[in-house]
Amino acid sequence: MRHFVTIADLSADEIWRLLELAKNLKDDWRHGGNNPVLAGKALGMIFQKPSLRTRVSFEVGMLHLGGQALYLSPQEIQLGQRESVADAARVLSRYVDGIVARVFAHADVEELAVHASVPVINGLSDFVHPCQALSDLFTIYERRGALQGLKLAYVGDGNNVTHSLLFAASKVGMEIRVASPSGYEPRGDVVSRAQAFAQETGGKAVVGTDARSAVSGADVVYTDVWTSMGQEGERAGRMPLFGPYQVNAELVALAAPDAMVMHCLPAHRGEEITDEVIDGGQSIVYDQAENRMHLQKALLLTLMGD
């Protein structure tokens, strides 16, 4: 690994090494702290979008590993406007040892990776959210001790989180079922690639419109907001279409009795998920949120460690 732009670029072995490293780092953190193996190193964080989990998990993760993180706000770094993406990548590479980019256009992350001489990590783009999906795999693995053959049902908008979950689940041999309203499915090329990955690993990737069918017997029920950041103008038109895709007690009852409920947060409570479910005994959403930090520490150590 030189950069981390999308899970589709990783082999199954690379994914498993990251999951095991995240487990070891979390264990160390809980039993006295992590070794300061990134002491003297700096992470530059380019943020075009506001964030709670991505920013804090990377900043604190670098602190745990002995390094420092520098937050670069949208006002300070205007990629492609104040200066070109290529120039920003070249200049930052002279100052920092790694770059995290949370951007609107996926092409910006790709261009950063082309021109940066230090590792680039995709903290989120309009195409994928790979840090989220990898930490989700870690959270499931932590609970079940395995991933192969588990059934993950994603219900809702076929967005960047969905794309990364399709890549991640299919790479490790899971069965992923996606249910979205017609016209809001994940991209066809993403589904095709996930299905090809699943053929190699014994997994399965299925996309449809029936939420109840997707959730039936599932080990994991996953959802995300119906209107992502930047799509606020579409909210009124989306609401009536997405109503049948709400993750509520009735829908979760169709899953396996010990099914886990996941949400990448922030949640619009009462829309894509009810309070009863997100605050219920099957919810592991806050474990997900914590594990962003541990998985990202594994990424930072893999990409920036000596």
Q: Cα(134)–Cα(300) distance, rounded to whole angstroms?
A: 13
Residues of the chain above pLDDT 70, percent: 99
Average pLDDT over residues 24-41: 98
d(CA 29, CA 207): 38
- Asked if omega into 50 is within 30° of 0 (cis), the reply is no
Active site residue 102: yes
The verdict on whether 82 is a catalytic residue reads: no
Cα–Cα distance between 73 and 82 in angstroms, integer? Answer: 13
**Residue 78: pLDDT over 80:** no
| Angstrom distance (rounded) from CA 231 to CA 265 | 16
Whether 279 has a pLDDT exceeding 80, the answer reads: yes
Among the options 163, 264, 282, 294, which is catalytic?
264
Binning pLDDT at 50, 70 and 90, where does residue 83 land? confident
**Cα(57)–Cα(286) distance, integer angstroms:** 13
Local structure of 1: helix, strand or coil: coil
The catalytically annotated residue of 163, 224, 288, 296 is 224
The crossing angle, in degrees rounded to 10, of helices 160-171 and 188-201 is: 20
SS3 content of the chain, % helix, strand, coil (to 5): 45, 15, 35
Catalytic pick from 64, 129, 163, 294?
129
Q: Is residue 86 predicted with pLDDT exceeding 80?
A: yes
Question: One of 3, 53, 102, 106 is an active-site residue; which one?
Answer: 102
In this model, does residue 1 exceed pLDDT 90?
no
pLDDT category at 259 given cuts 50, 70, 90 is very high
The candidate with the shortest Cα–Cα distance to 286, out of 265, 268, 257, is 265
- Note if 292 is an active site residue: yes
pLDDT at 302 over 80: yes
Give me the pLDDT at residue 232, please.
Answer: 73
Nearest residue to 178 via CA among 222, 136, 140, 138: 222
Tell whether the model's pLDDT for residue 81 goes beyond 80.
no
The pLDDT score that the predictor gives to residue 90 is 97
- Kindly tell me if the per-residue pLDDT of 12 is higher than 80: yes
Q: How many CA atoms lie within 13 A of 4 on its CB side?
A: 30
Q: What is the pLDDT of residue 77?
A: 78
Summarize pLDDT for 191-234 with one digit per residue, the tens.
999 999 999 999 999 999 999 999 999 999 999 999 876 677 78
Between 82 and 53, the higher pLDDT residue: 53
pLDDT, mean of residues 235-256: 94
Catalytic residue check, 3: no
- CATH number of the structural domain 7-129+292-304: 3.40.50.1370
The DSSP string of 231-269 is: -GGGHHHHHHHHGGG-B-HHHHTTS-TT-EEEE-S---B
Share of the chain above pLDDT 90, in %: 92
Is residue 132 among the annotated active site residues? yes
Query: What digits encode the pLDDT tens for the residues 106-128?
Result: 999 999 999 999 999 999 999 99
Please state the rounded mean pLDDT for residues 236-251. Answer: 94
- Residue 131 annotated to the active site: no
CATH 3.40.50.1370 domain residues, the chain: 7-129+292-304, 132-288
Candidate list 55, 163, 177, 292, residue with the active-site label: 292
SS3 70: strand
Indicate the DSSP class of residue 40.
T
- 132-288 fold: Rossmann fold (3.40.50)
Q: Which of 132, 246, 282, 296 is catalytic?
A: 132
Task: Calculate mean pLDDT across residues 241-248.
Answer: 97
What mean pLDDT do residues 152-164 have?
98
Among 13-27, 46-60, 68-82, 171-185, which stretch is predicted with the lowest mean pLDDT? 68-82
